[in-house]
A and B are shown apart, each in its own frame.
Chain A
Amino acid sequence: MSRKRTAALVGNPNSGKSALFNALTGARQKIANYAGVTVERKAGRLTLPSGEPVELLDLPGSYSFDAASPDEAVTRDVVKGTFEGEAVPDVLVVVLDAANLEQHLVFAQEVLELGRPTVVALNMVDLAERDGLTLDPAALSEALGVPVIPTVAVRRKGIAELNAAIAEAETHADEQAHTRWHLTLPERRLSAKHMARGAILSKSTRHTIENGVDKILLNPWIGPVVLFGLLFVIFQAVFAWATPFADLLEGGVGVLSAGVTASMAPGILRDFLTEGVLAGVGSVVVFLPQIVILFAFILVMEASGYMARAAFLMDRLMAGVGLSGKSFIPLLSSFACAIPGIMATRSISDPKDRLTTILIAPLMTCSARLPVYAVIIAAVIPQTSVGPGIGLQGLVLFALYVAGIIGAMVVALVLRRTVTKGAASGFIMELPRYQLPRIKDLAIGLWQRAWVFLRRAGTIIFLATIALWVLLSFPKAEPGESQLDASYAGVVADTIHPVLEPVGFNREMSLALVPAIAAREVAVSALATTYAVDAEDEDVAAEGVTAKIAALWSLPTALAFLAWFVFAPQCLSTIAVARRETNGWKWPIVMVVYLFALAWIAAGLTYWIAVSAGL
C-alpha cells in the first residue's frame, strides 16, 4: 500500500452529514482550511473492518455542482479531482436524508454521473419513520446501481454496515462506471421523483412535527418573544454561569504565577514569565468559560434546527440595514468574542454580506470589554435606583451594549451604501427538520471551537504580549521615575496623547490604551499599574483602581472613556483574524480606521456634551 486511501462525504445541506462524519471517525478530526479559500476542511480517520485507515473528508453541504457559493465550489472541485493540492477521493459516500429523498436524489445523481466508486448512506431513517414513511433501500440500490445503507447517524445505527460498504466500494467501481446517464436538471428531477416513489413502500398521512412546532416558533407574535427570551437566558448564562469557572482559571493562573515567582530568582526572565506570558495569555484563557457556554447554546440551536428559525425571525430586522438573517449567527457569537464571530461568517454565501458582517462584528460588545465597563461604572456611576429593581449602574451597562448594537446597525447601513455596495442581499435558506441533538456530537463541536479559540488567540496574544511587555519594560526606569513613563510604551503614549486630549482623556488613559490593544480588559490592569496600585490579581487591582478613578477622573472624562470602549479599535487577535478571513490587509485597515474614528467621535461627543451640561 503506497498511499493512504481517502473517502469523502457528499450530500445536500441538512442531510446529517456532520453527525455521520462524527459517527464514522469519532473525535479524531482535523480542521483546517482548503488552500487559498476560507472554506473549512474537515478530515478524520476512518478505520475499515480490515483495520486499514482511510482519510475521510466531510465536504461542505451542496445542492448542485453548479455552485452558488464558495463552499459548493470546493465540494465540486474536490469530488471532480480538480482542486489543486487535494487528491480525488477514492470512494464517495453520498448522504441522503431519507425523509427528503426526492430533493436529495437530484444532487446524488449528479455525483453518481461521475462514475466514481460510490456508496449511498440513506441517513435519518428514524426521522422518515417519524413522518410515517417506510422505505425500501434495496429498491433504491437497484435504481441507483450502487449499495444503499440505511443509517441513523445520531444513534450510531448502520455505521458498521456503511463502513463495510466503503471498504468494498472500490471493487465494484468497474461495473458502475459505464452505466451512467448524463441528464439535465429537469430530467434528473423527474427521475429523482420516480426513484423516490419506488423506494417508498408506504406513506401514512401523519403530520410532520415541523409544521406544528413552527406554528408557534415562527408565529409572527410568539416567535420573536420566544427568541428574545432565549437570547436573554443566553446572556444571563454567559455572564453569570461563567463567573465561577473564570474565577477558577484566574486563580489557577495566579497560583502558577506565584509558583514561578517563588521558584525563580528575580530577574528579567521571571518578569517575562509572570508579567508577560502568564498575565497576557492568562487574560485570554479566562474568557474560555464564557465562550464555551455561548457556543454550547449556539451548537444546540444549530443541531436542533432552531438556528435557521432564529435567522428567519431576524431577517427582516437585518434586511433593514442591508444584511440578511444569516448575519445574525456570527453577530450573536461576537458577544462572547469577535474572533469566533468573524470565523462564523463563513456560512454567509454573499461576499459583500460577509464582509459587512466581519466589519461590524467588533461592535458587538465582547466579553473582554466587560471588566473595563464594570470598573469605570463602579467608580463614577452612583449606585442609585432609577425604578423598581432597575439600578442606574445596570442601566448604564445595558445602554453601552445597546450603543454597540445600534452603532453596528448604522455602520452596516453606511457600508452597504458605500464600500460594500451591491444588490440588496437575499435570504434563501432551508429550514431543517427539528432534531434532538446528541450529547457526543455537541461535545465534539464544543471541543473543536474551544481548541480553535485557544490555539489561534493564544498564539497571537502570546506574541503580542511579548512585544508589549518589552515595550513596557524597557528602557528601565531610573529610581523615583515610573516604569511606564520611562518605557517605550510611555513614549508611544506621549505620542498619541495629543490626539486623545481633546476628547477628555488624561495621560494615564492614553497610556492604558496601548496595552489594551493586545486585549481590551488589560486597560484595567494598565490603569492600575499606572496608578501604582500594588496588586497581582486583576480583581484586587480593580478595587484599588476604582477608588483612584473615582477620586481623580471627572465624570465627563470617565463617560468619554466608556464611550471610547464601545467603539474602540479591537484587539490584535481580532485584526489578525479579520486579515485571515478577508485574505489581505485592506479590510482590517478599513476596520481599524473607521472604529478609531467612531471611538474618537463618540468619546468626544460624550465629553463635550457632558462638560457643557455641567456634569
Chain B
Amino acid sequence: MTLDGFDSGKSARITGVDWDALAQDEGKRLKALGVDEGAEVAILHRGVFGGRDPIAMRLGNMTIAIRRMHARAIHVEAA
C-alpha cells in the first residue's frame, strides 16, 4: 500500500520508497527531510481542486507538503 492510498490522520510506517520513481533532486530532498524506511508519517491535509493534490503530511515534528505522485512512491503499513 502506498501513502497516497492511506487514510488521513492515521499513522503509517514507511516500508520502502521507490527512489527510481522520483526525480533525483526530489528524492534527495525527501531523503534529507527524513523520508526513508522505518520513518512514521501521517497524512494531515489534502488539497481541494481536482485530484486532492497536494498532500500535507506529518513527519516527525514537521509538516511537509508533497504531491500525490511522491506519495505514490512511498510504501507504508499501518503503524
Contact = CB atoms under 8 A, between A and B. Distances in A.
Contacts of B60: 100, 102-103
B23 A426 contact: yes
Contact of B56 (A64, A68, A312): A312
B64 interface: yes
Interface in A54-103: 63-64, 66-69, 99-100, 102-103
Given A316-B47, A317-B49, A319-B53, A431 B63 contact: yes
Contacts of A100: 60-62
Interface stretch (A170-178, A217-225, A354-362, A508-516): A217-225
A429 B62 CA distance: 11
A64 B28 contact: yes
Nearest to B32: A63
A214 B65 contact: no
A324 to B, nearest CB: 8
Contacts of A325: 54, 65
A478 interface: no
A221 B63 contact: no
Contact of A66 (B28, B51, B65, B69): B28
A128 B57 CA distance: 20
A103 B65 contact: no
B26 interface: yes
B53 A426 contact: no
Contact of B64 (A211, A311, A428): A428
A103 B34 contact: yes
B56 A218 contact: yes
Interface residues of A, number: 45
A185 interface: yes
Interface residues of B, number: 34
A224 B34 CA distance: 29
Interface string B44-78: 11111111111010001111111101100000000
B10 interface: no
A103 B61 contact: yes
A128 to B, nearest CB: 9
B65 A429 contact: yes
B47 to A, nearest CB: 5
Given A63-B29, A66-B32, A224 B61 contact: no
A315 B65 CA distance: 10
B48 A224 contact: yes
**Which of A210, A221, A427 has the largest count of B CB atoms less than 10 A from its CB?**
A427
Contacts of A67: 28
Given A319-B53, A430-B64, A69 B25 contact: yes
B33 interface: yes
Nearest to A429: B65
Nearest to A215: B45
A577 B57 CA distance: 37
A186 B36 contact: yes
A430 B33 contact: yes
Given A214-B45, A316-B48, A426 B69 contact: yes
19 contacts: A64-B32, A67-B28, A100-B62, A103-B60, A103-B61, A185-B36, A189-B34, A189-B36, A219-B45, A220-B45, A315-B67, A316-B50, A349-B25, A426-B23, A426-B67, A427-B54, A428-B70, A430-B33, A431-B63
Given A312-B54, A315-B53, 6 more contacts: A63-B32, A312-B47, A319-B53, A325-B65, A349-B25, A431-B56
Sorted nearest first, the 6 A-B pairs with minimum C-beta distance are A220-B48, A63-B32, A316-B49, A64-B32, A431-B63, A218-B45
Interface of B: 22-23, 25-26, 28-34, 36, 44-54, 56, 60-67, 69-70
